[in-house]
Amino acid sequence: MTNYAIIGDVHGCYDELVDLAFGSHSFDQYQMIFVGDLTDRGPRNIDVLKLVMSLVKKYNAKVVLGNHDDKLRRWLKGNKVKINNGLQDTINELVETTDDFKADLLSFLEGLPYKLYLDEGKLIIAHAGLTETLQAANRVFSGVHKAARSMALYGKITGKTDSSGYPERLDWAEDYRGTRVVVHGHTANKEVVVKNKVYNIDTGCVFGNKLTALIYPEMSIISVPAKYTYTKHKRLL
C-alpha cells in the first residue's frame, strides 16, 4: 500500500512547505499529494510553483486543482478575471519569470484534475470536497460533471455572501454518509476539522496559523507553524 502525505493549502508559503516536507518529518517515504491553492496571498508563490512542479515531475507527487489555481490558469490564458484575493501578488512575481516558464506553468495547471481517487477508490482528494452523490461524476453526464467540478473547487455554496463578504458555504460534511474518506482544504480553520469521514486540512498557514499534512492511511497529523501572518483574515479562523 502506498503511504500518502496530503498537504493543505500552501498559498505561497514556501519556507513552511520546505519545513513540512523536508524537515524533521521528511516525506521521502510518502507520495506527496496537494489539495490545491498553491499560490496567492503568500510571499513566495513562484518558488512554491517551481518546487511542486518539480516534485510532480521527479517524484510522482499529485496535485488537485484549487480555485486559486484555476483562476491563475484562466489569467494565463488571457481570460478576463477579477484580480483579488492575492492574485496580484502572484502576477507581480510572474512578471519576473520567462515566457517559457509561463508556458510550462499553464500546461501544468491545465493538466490538473479537480479530484483524485487513491487507495483503490477508498480515498478522494478534492480541493473543497465532494459529496457522495457527486463523487462518481464523469464527463459522460456533463451536467453532473459540471456540478462536481464546481463543488470540488468552491465547496457547497449558496450564491450569497456572509457578513465578512466571503461566499456562504454549507457544511456538507455534517451530513456526509459516504464510504470513502474525503480530504480537502479551501476553508481555513485553526485545527484540522474531522466530521464523519471528511478531513479539512486547511489550517490557514498564510493567515499566520500553520501548514498541515495528513498522513494516510495512519491518519496522523503533522504541522509546522507559520513564520509570519502574511495576510489578515476577515473572519476568525
Confidence bin at 144 (pLDDT 50/70/90): low
Report the pLDDT value the prediction gives residue 6, as an integer from 0 to 100. 98
Q: How much is the pLDDT for 235?
A: 63
Calculate mean pLDDT across residues 132-161.
Answer: 80
Nearest by Cα to 12 from 40, 33, 51, 50 = 40
pLDDT tens for 148-197 read: 999 999 998 777 777 666 677 789 999 999 999 999 999 999 999 999 99
DSSP H or E stretch at residue 56: helix 45-59
| Residue spans per domain, the chain | 4-126+180-225
CA separation, residue 76 to residues 22, 68, 81 (Å): 30, 12, 10
CA distance 29 to 74: 35
For residue 141, is pLDDT > 80?
A: no
At 220, is the secondary structure helix, strand, or coil? strand
* Total Cβ atoms within 10 A of residue 237: 14
Q: What is the pTM of this model?
A: 0.94
Tens-place pLDDT, residues 56-97: 999 999 999 999 999 999 999 999 999 998 999 999 999 999
Q: What percent of the chain has pLDDT over 70?
A: 93
Residue 185, CB half-sphere, CA atoms under 13 Å: how many? Answer: 30
**Average pLDDT for residues 20-30, to the nearest whole number?**
90
Map residue 131 onto helix, strand or coil: coil
Q: Is the pLDDT of residue 201 over 60?
A: yes
Superfamily name and number for 4-126+180-225: Metallo-dependent phosphatases (3.60.21.10)
pLDDT at 1 (0 to 100): 74
Cell numbers found for residue 169: 458555504
Strands (E) located in the chain: 4-7, 31-34, 62-63, 116-118, 123-125, 157-161, 167-169, 181-184, 193-195, 198-200, 210-216, 220-225
What local confidence, expressed as pLDDT, does residue 156 receive?
87
Instruction: Show the CA angle centred on residue 151, arms to residues 150 and 155, nearest 5°.
Output: 125
**Angle, CA of 106, 109 and 110, to the nearest 5°:** 80
| Region 113-141 average pLDDT | 88
Mean pLDDT rounded to a whole number for the chain: 93
Average pLDDT on 91-105 reads 97
Peptide bond between residue 225 and the one before it cis (omega within 30 degrees of 0): no
